[in-house]
């Protein structure tokens, strides 16, 4: 391979005639100015990019994210509290409903008991009235029967006396029958 | 190259200087090993000390790099 | 430097003695070349080179991730937006944890450094690409910028009491001057180690990849070499991220010294 000889005068003293480095390229002061110039340009460019665009944007995004996260956490806390409240309200409603049901059933029971008691009392009263009437009737019947017996006895006695050929006066017979009937 | 005493000295010096890099490696290993020993004793404190570890390694290594640089200078720049 | 062949030894491509056999060019991948025109054209400070190309691609990645990716501003993000927000949160938390809450105004600055290094590192892993962060000129400028920022902010915020950083009041008075000298040296070595750590890691990784790729020229060991390249490539993906992370976190540590020098 033919390597074109290079102009050593122009290239400086860090490159040999074959285009290879002489010594350490890092120590070649002919190149320092170029490196330093472009380094300054690069650093200034990066610094400007960072301070003008990148860092405000990234820090804003990070702040926004932490804000969003804390907001979401607060919202979650809020929702959690709401859920707890709702559960409490539900349980309260349940307890109320249970108490109400108990009250209503108690009332119903009381009402039924009152009706029942009234009905029983009424029935008792009616039964008592009926039995009193019946006893009265029985007493009447009995009295009527006793009177009839006395009548019959009187008539029979009068007839017997007559049949015996005697004359009996009416009041004597009555007294005798009455004493006999009563005596029995 | 034959019989060039100066060149022999140059290369010998470069080789000797390069030994410094290896000796610096002992120092770096010492730093890292002691850090590990401490970290295993107290793992909870190790996390906060990694920066210190790297600073220690950097200082130990810098001197090895110096001897490496001397070797390079002897090889290429003398 | 007059004779390139003599000064660079066996690894130079131009060495006629080794042109036939194994030829490694582990350093050629770091060369700065003009994008348009010939190889040997001179490189001026304004020339559009491969440095320009790969840095522009890094900028485009930032635009793609942070401008196009977040354009929906969605509350529930898609993948690209999540990655952008993840990167934002990662660096923001880092600066908040390491430097403190009052350092958040430096966040765009630190984030710029992080994103540039991260994308430059990752783009450099594309085969036959160019890695700007392996160059000491690039990382040196980044580290120097951090160093100057820290020093200026330190003095503006704390005045002369920033010098208390070097006067360790918890130490006995007799050794405080010695400590002050050591602290001062370590303070000024910071930008050096800060930049060389990044450039050195990247250079080392990429050079090793190239050397292993060079071994693949030998048929007998080429399967091993390809396996080695694969393994090192995996390591380099890790290194690309870790070095960006380390550079950023050290920036945060240094900034903490500027803002709170007394602890």
* Domain of residue B48, CATH code: 1.20.20.10
C140 pLDDT tier (thresholds 50, 70, 90): very high
Burial class (CB in 10 A: 0-12, 13-18, 19+), C67: middle
Question: What's the whole-number average pLDDT of chain A?
Answer: 86
A2 pLDDT tier (thresholds 50, 70, 90): very low
Distances (CA, A) of B19 to B33, B76, C167: 21, 17, 36
Chains that touch C (3 or more CB pairs under 8 A): A, B
Domain that holds residue C188: 31-259
Chain C residues closer than 8 Å to A26 by CB = 30, 134-137, 199, 203
CB A35 within 8 A of CB C132: yes
Number of domains, chain C: 1
A159 pLDDT tier (thresholds 50, 70, 90): confident
ipTM above 0.95, yes or no: no
Distance in angstroms (rounded) separating the CA atoms of residues C222 and C185:
47
Domain that holds residue B48: 5-77
Please answer yes or no on whether A49 and C63 come within 8 Å at the CB atom.
yes
Which pLDDT belongs to residue A184?
52
Burial class (CB in 10 A: 0-12, 13-18, 19+), C173: exposed
Chain C residues closer than 8 Å to A57 by CB = 66, 70, 73
Asked if the structure places residue C13 within a domain, the reply is no
Question: What's the whole-number average pLDDT of chain C?
Answer: 85
Chain C residues closer than 8 Å to A60 by CB = 73
Distance in angstroms (rounded) separating the CA atoms of residues C150 and C152:
6
Chain C residues closer than 8 Å to B21 by CB = 204
Distance in angstroms (rounded) separating the CA atoms of residues C252 and C246:
10
Chain B residues closer than 8 Å to A24 by CB = 72-73, 76-77
Please answer yes or no on whether B57 and C246 come within 8 Å at the CB atom.
yes
Element of type H or E holding C247: helix C222-259
Q: Does A63 touch chain C (CB under 8 A)?
A: no
Pick from C199, C97, C59: nearest CA to C143? C199
**Most distant CA pair in chain B, distance:** 62
Q: Does A23 touch chain B (CB under 8 A)?
A: yes
Asked if the structure places residue C3 within a domain, the reply is no
- Mean pLDDT of all residues in A84-106: 94
CB C29 within 8 A of CB C127: no
Which residues of chain C from 204 to 263 reach within 8 Å of chain A, CB to CB? none
In a 3-state reduction of DSSP, which class is residue A173? helix
Asked if the structure places residue C139 within a domain, the reply is yes
Chains that touch B (3 or more CB pairs under 8 A): A, C
Please answer yes or no on whether A19 and C40 come within 8 Å at the CB atom.
yes
Please answer yes or no on whether B65 and C200 come within 8 Å at the CB atom.
yes
Chain B residues closer than 8 Å to C7 by CB = 78
A131 pLDDT tier (thresholds 50, 70, 90): very high
- DSSP annotation of B78 reads -
In a 3-state reduction of DSSP, which class is residue C131? coil
Determine the distance in angstroms separating the CA of A98 from the nearest CA of chain B, rounded to an integer.
Answer: 56
Q: Does A27 touch chain B (CB under 8 A)?
A: yes
Q: Does A45 touch chain C (CB under 8 A)?
A: yes
Of A7, A31, A62, the CB nearest to C32: A31
A154 pLDDT tier (thresholds 50, 70, 90): confident
Determine the distance in angstroms separating the CA of B38 from the nearest CA of chain C, rounded to an integer.
Answer: 21
**CA of B75: which chain A residue's CA is closest?**
A23
Please answer yes or no on whether A21 and C46 come within 8 Å at the CB atom.
no
Asked if the structure places residue C7 within a domain, the reply is no
CB C11 within 8 A of CB C26: yes
Distance in angstroms (rounded) separating the CA atoms of residues B18 and A40:
33
- Mean pLDDT of all residues in C149-162: 90
Distance in angstroms (rounded) separating the CA atoms of residues A146 and A183:
13
Number of domains, chain B: 1
Residue A163 has pLDDT above 80, yes or no: yes
Element of type H or E holding A70: helix A55-163
Please answer yes or no on whether A54 and C138 come within 8 Å at the CB atom.
no
Distance in angstroms (rounded) separating the CA atoms of residues C163 and C170:
15
- DSSP annotation of C40 reads T
Residue C7 has pLDDT above 50, yes or no: no
Chain A residues closer than 8 Å to B73 by CB = 24, 27
CB count in 10 Å sphere of residue C148: 11
Burial class (CB in 10 A: 0-12, 13-18, 19+), C253: middle
**CA of C10: which chain B residue's CA is closest?**
B1
CB count in 10 Å sphere of residue C5: 15
Asked if the structure places residue C11 within a domain, the reply is no
Which residues of chain C from 224 to 243 reach within 8 Å of chain B, CB to CB? 242
Distances (CA, A) of C252 to B51, C145, C146, C201: 11, 13, 10, 20
C175 pLDDT tier (thresholds 50, 70, 90): confident
Please answer yes or no on whether C245 and B54 come within 8 Å at the CB atom.
yes
Chain C residues closer than 8 Å to A7 by CB = 40
Residue C39 has pLDDT above 70, yes or no: no
**Most distant CA pair in chain C, distance:** 67
Q: In sequence order, which residues have a C-beta less than 8 Å from that of residue B66 and are 6 or more positions away?
A: B20, C193, C196, C200
Asked if the structure places residue C10 within a domain, the reply is no
C9 pLDDT tier (thresholds 50, 70, 90): very low
Question: What's the whole-number average pLDDT of chain B?
Answer: 87
Chain B residues closer than 8 Å to A27 by CB = 73, 77
Q: What torsion, rounded to 10 degrees, do the Cα atoms A160, A164, A168, A172 define? A: -50
Please answer yes or no on whether B72 and A23 come within 8 Å at the CB atom.
no
Please answer yes or no on whether A35 and C111 come within 8 Å at the CB atom.
no
- Mean pLDDT of all residues in A16-40: 83
Please answer yes or no on whether A15 and C109 come within 8 Å at the CB atom.
no
Burial class (CB in 10 A: 0-12, 13-18, 19+), C215: middle
Of C8, C27, C250, the CB nearest to B58: C250
Q: What are phi and psi of A93, to 5 degrees?
A: -60, -40
List the beta bridge partners of residue C49.
C34
Angle ∠(B19,B38,B43) on CA atoms, nearest 5: 130
CB B11 within 8 A of CB C20: no
Sequence spans of domains, chain A: 1-30, 31-183
């Amino acid at each position: 391979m033919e390597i074109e000889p290079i102009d050593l005068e122009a290239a400086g003293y860090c490159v040999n005639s074959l285009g290879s480095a002489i010594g350490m390229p890092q120590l070649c002061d002919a190149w320092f100015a170029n490196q330093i110039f472009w380094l300054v340009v690069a650093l200034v460019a990066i610094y400007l990019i960072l301070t003008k665009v990148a860092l405000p944007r990234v820090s804003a995004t990070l702040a926004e994210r932490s804000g969003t996260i804390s907001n979401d956490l607060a919202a979650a806390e809020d929702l959690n509290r709401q859920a707890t409240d709702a559960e409490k309200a539900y349980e309260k409603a349940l307890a109320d409903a249970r108490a109400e049901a108990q009250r209503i059933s108690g009332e119903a029971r009381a009402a039924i008991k009152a009706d029942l008691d009234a009905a029983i009392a009424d029935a008792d009263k009616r039964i008592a009235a009926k039995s009193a009437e019946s006893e009265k009737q029985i007493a009447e019947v009995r009295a009527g029967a006793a009177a009839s017996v006395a009548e019959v006895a009187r008539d029979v006695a009068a007839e017997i006396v007559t049949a015996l050929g005697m004359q009996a006066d009416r009041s004597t017979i009555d007294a005798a029958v009455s004493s006999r009937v009563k005596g029995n | 190259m034959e019989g060039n005493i100066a060149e022999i000295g140059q290369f010998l010096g470069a080789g000797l200087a390069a030994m410094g890099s290896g000796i610096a490696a002992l120092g770096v290993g010492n730093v890292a090993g002691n850090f590990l020993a401490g970290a295993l004793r107290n793992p909870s404190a190790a996390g906060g000390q990694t920066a210190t570890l790297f600073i220690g390694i950097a200082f130990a290594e810098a001197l090895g790099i110096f001897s490496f640089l001397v070797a390079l200078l002897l090889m290429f720049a003398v | 430097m007059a004779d390139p062949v003599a000064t660079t030894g066996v690894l130079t491509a131009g060495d006629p003695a080794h042109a036939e056999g194994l030829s490694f060019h582990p350093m050629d991948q770091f060369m700065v070349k003009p994008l348009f025109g010939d190889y040997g054209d001179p490189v001026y400070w304004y020339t559009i080179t491969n440095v320009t190309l790969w840095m522009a691609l890094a900028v485009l990645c930032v635009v793609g991730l942070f401008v196009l990716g977040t354009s929906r501003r969605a509350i529930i993000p898609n993948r690209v937006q999540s990655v952008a927000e993840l990167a934002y949160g990662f660096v923001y938390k880092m600066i908040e944890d390491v430097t403190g809450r009052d350092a958040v105004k430096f966040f765009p600055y630190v984030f710029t450094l992080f994103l540039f290094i991260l994308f430059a590192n990752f783009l450099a892993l594309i085969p036959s690409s160019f890695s700007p962060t392996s160059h000491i000129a690039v990382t040196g400028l980044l580290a120097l910028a951090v160093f100057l920022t820290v020093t200026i902010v330190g003095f503006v915020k704390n005045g002369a009491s920033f010098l208390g950083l070097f006067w360790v009041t918890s130490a006995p008075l007799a050794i405080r001057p010695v400590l002050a000298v050591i602290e001062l040296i370590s303070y000024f070595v910071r930008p050096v180690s800060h930049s060389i750590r990044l450039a050195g890691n990247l250079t080392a990784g990429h050079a090793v990849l190239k050397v292993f790729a060079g071994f693949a020229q030998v048929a007998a060991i080429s399967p091993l070499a390809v396996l080695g390249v694969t393994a090192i490539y995996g390591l380099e993906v890790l290194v690309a991220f870790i070095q960006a992370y380390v550079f950023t976190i050290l920036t945060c540590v240094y900034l903490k010294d500027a803002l709170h020098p007394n602890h």
